[in-house]
Structure 1
Amino acid sequence: MWVNWIQEIATAHWSAVAAPEHVDKYVWVVTRHEIDYRGNISEGESVTAETFIPEGPRGAQFDRCVEFRDSSGKRIVAARSTWAMLDKASGRLVRVPAEVAAPFL
């Protein structure tokens, strides 16, 4: 459940913020997830999520953090995922261009 939400939030953020020509040209794949579980929720409870990019890209890779908080505001899950950018046409890794990274920093 948490990993699915992490990935859905990241891809929704990409789709909402990235320039349409970048969304058309590039795709991201996860190369690593680090997840700290500090609590959980029960069925019917809700969480809020916040995503942010802690620093600029390194070559083809970009880290993204997602934090989930319960209804009292307690952080219950914190994740840091490494994503790699691929060119859709070739399927090859590509260095993240500054214009692609800029809206997320």
Structure 2
Amino acid sequence: MARPVLEPRTDREVFVVPLDIRPEHIDENEHVNNVVYVGWLQDVGTAHWNARFDDETRTKWSWVALRHEIDYLRPIQPDAAGIVARTWVGDPQGPRFARYVRIEDAEGRVCAQGISEWCLVDARTLRPHRIPADMIAPFSR
């Protein structure tokens, strides 16, 4: 059973990324394939990280996906335009962050939503690291 529609937290920035529907995204059922959504969850989270942190920070730290969970609510058709992803983060739990994503059509209807769990790692050693307090502010309102 699908969970209720995810609502952005009022204390978090909602980062919006436009999504393009490409021919290779369309499956034999004539809508965006489920696997594409997993890529979008990763791409949207990466875009948010890259937009809020400088090269030095991104060189020092990296993120490893631990889990993706997606609810498919409405198919996206091959000719769809105006598709966007809205993403925000939850509270850090040691080295882990939950990232929430809603994928919406041009009318604002939720087509899919997902929760990804990410782990902050030292980019050189790939060892998990507690999320520093100063890393939360760029994701906040």
- Give the counterpart of 2:109 among 59, 74, 88: 74
Residue among 105, 113, 124 paired with 1:89 = 124
Q: In the alignment, what sits opposite 1:50?
A: 86
In the alignment, the residues of structure 1 paired with residue 91 and residue 76 of structure 2 have an alpha-carbon distance, to the nearest angstrom, of 32
Count matched residues.
104
Counterpart AA for 1:87: D
Q: Which has the higher strand share?
A: 1
1:30 counterpart SS class: strand
**Distance apart, 1:71 and its partner CA:** 2.0
Structure 1 gaps, min length 5:
none
Q: Deviations over 1:6-60 (max 9, x none)?
A: 110100110001243221100001101111110111112131110111x320000
RMSD: 1.1
Q: What is the SS of the residue equivalent to 2:112?
A: strand
**What's the counterpart of residue 27 of structure 2?**
none
Q: Percent identity?
A: 37
Which residue does 2:139 correspond to in 1?
104
User: Which of 5, 13, 31 is 2:66 aligned to?
Assistant: 31
Q: Unpaired runs of 5+ in structure 2?
A: 1-35
**Secondary structure, in 3 states, of the residue corresponding to 2:65?**
strand
TM-score (norm 2): 0.70
Spell out structure 1 runs of 4+ moving beyond 6 A: none
The whole-number CA distance in structure 1 between the counterparts of 2:70 and 2:44 is 15
TM-score (norm 1): 0.92
Rg larger for: 2
